[in-house]
Amino acid sequence: NFMLTQPHSVSESPGKTVTISCTRSSGNIDGNYVEWYQQRPGSAPTTVIYEDDQRPSGVPDRFSGSIDRSSNSASLTISGLKTEDEADYYCQSYDSTSRVFGGGTKLTVL
């Protein structure tokens, strides 16, 4: 089995750009897709990035995803931060038998 490690929390000001990392402990990050979910309090998670860098319809292009093979990690970047982006963000990937979530990152926009 493998783990996905995210920072516990990040904070940034409105209008700025923030990047949340997700590091895979074993296995190649580019061997299986990485997804990113946003979860606001009291709600089920919703997808902001799927298949490493794809945005579902309705997700603004301020959200982008990328993969870095050298660090075996994925990143979620949110530009032009808005107060409505304040939420928990989870990365997720898989292998042949398991689906794994990162521990989640609380984004504060202050």
Partner 1 sequence: QLQLQESGPGLVKPSETLSLTCSVSGDSLSINPYFWAWIRQPPGKGLQWIGSIYYSGNTYYSPSLRGRVTISLDTSKNQFSLRLNSVTAADAAIYYCTRHPAWNHHFDYWGQGILATVSS
The residues binding partner 1 (CB under 8 A) are 1, 32-33, 35, 37, 39, 44-47, 50-51, 90, 92-94, 97-104
Residue 23 belongs to what H/E stretch?
strand 18-24
- In this structure, the strands spanning 63-68 and 105-109 are unpaired
Residue nearer to partner 1 on the CB measure, 63 or 90: 90
User: Taking the complex as a whole, how short is the minimal distance between the CB of residue 14 and partner 1, in angstroms?
Assistant: 26
Q: Which residues pair with 4 in a beta bridge?
A: 24
User: Taking the complex as a whole, how short is the minimal distance between the CB of residue 110 and partner 1, in angstroms?
Assistant: 21
Give the whole-angstrom CA distance, residue 99 versus residue 85: 26
Residue nearer to partner 1 on the CB measure, 74 or 104: 104
